[in-house]
Amino acid sequence: MMLPDYAGQMPTRTARQFLPAALLMLLLVGSFHRATAQPASVEVGGRQILVPNPGDFVRSDGVNPDVDSAKAALLPPSNRSLISFATKEDVEKLRQGEAAQSKRSFNIQVVRSIESREIGEKTFAQLRDESRAEIEKARATMDAQVQKLVASGNKRLAGQFGADAALSVSDTAVLGFFDEAPSSLGFTMAMKVGVKSDGGTPTKLIAAAMMTPVNGRLLNLYAYAEYGSEADRQWAEKAVTAWRDAIRDANPKVQGPSAGMFDFGRVGRSALTGGIIGAAVGLVAWLLKRKKKDA
């Protein structure tokens, strides 16, 4: 905004009134942009982790308590959800209590048993291959593990949405590893997710997972996409990689101790099942709408 040039003359009464108001407006606008650009802060094991928004997505947890409660019921007990992101349109729908069937979203989880353990760059580099091997080994029994977790989550959901709102997860598969840097491990999963009472065709979903240490704490990052073509898989893998870079850049680098006697295999399995169930919770908003409609 261009202000009038009053050089060489005394400001009029109107100008004197206009200038402070205009300057105040500019300061407020600048403050607003600085505030909205600030990353969120989440606590992991007593340590603060800064989490920048992934692209144009905005924070979606804390918007609708019913949806948050249902998501918590579905996640494996071994995992804790830190923060979630969705499109602005979907967040507004959640705020209004409407169904938000987002085709793309993000989530961060931690494994409860180790969220207070010091796992830095050096620690993770020594444990990455062990985790990769455990994920590979889990392929054979993954469906059975997922079905057990889904059944347990459905029991908890029944009290909120009724027994007919049970989720179904099938055809789970690890598609491969797309990142094996010393400080991260990225792998992609596919699955079909539906609602048993719906009777429709299950939705195909992609989950790109990224395990990485941030400020001495191990995070599991996920980018989810409804699968229509290989372009959706590529988007998820690139999106979670870019988000990893932004998060790591926003936080201190910690080397951490040597791995020593550390059972990291369980951590890999938790990252795997957490990503699959995390993709399924995207249908929770649909369940919320069904509950309101049937009430």
Q: How far is the CA of 23 from the CAs of 1, 17, 27, 164, in angstroms?
A: 10, 11, 6, 58
Structure confidence by residue, pLDDT tens digits, 137-179: 888 888 888 888 888 888 887 777 665 667 888 898 999 999 9
Amino acid at position 219, single letter: L
**Which structure tokens are listed for 38?**
């600030």
Nearest CA among 33, 89, 28 for reference residue 56: 89
Residue 77 pLDDT class (50, 70, 90 cuts) = confident
| Residue 36, C-beta contacts closer than 8 angstroms, at least 6 positions apart | none
Question: Which one has a higher pLDDT value, 155 or 81?
Answer: 81
The predicted pLDDT at position 46 comes to 96
CA distances (Å), 135 to each of 117, 119, 172, 209, in order? 21, 19, 13, 12
What is the DSSP secondary-structure string of 235-274? HHHHHHHHHHHHHHHTS---------S---HHHHHHHHHH
Gap between the Cα atoms of 227 and 104, Å rounded: 10
Collect all residues with Cβ–Cβ distance below 8 Å to 255 and sequence separation of at least 6. 120, 121, 122, 123
pTM greater than 0.95: no
Q: How far is CA 183 from the centre of its chain?
A: 19
% of the chain with per-residue pLDDT over 70: 76
**pLDDT tens-digit readout, 168-209:** 888 989 999 999 999 999 999 999 988 766 666 788 999 999
How many CB atoms neighbour CB 244 within 10 A?
Answer: 23
Task: Quote the tokens at residue 35.
Answer: 């505030």
- The residues, any chain, with a CB within 8 Å of residue 164's CB and separated by 6 or more, are 196, 197
For CA atoms 138, 140, 145, 147, the dihedral sign is positive
Q: pLDDT tens, 214-270? A: 999 999 999 999 999 999 999 999 999 999 999 999 999 999 888 776 666 677 778
> Is-contact 247 143, C-beta < 8 A?
no
Give per-residue pLDDT as tens, 6-42: 234 333 444 444 334 433 343 443 433 333 458 999 9
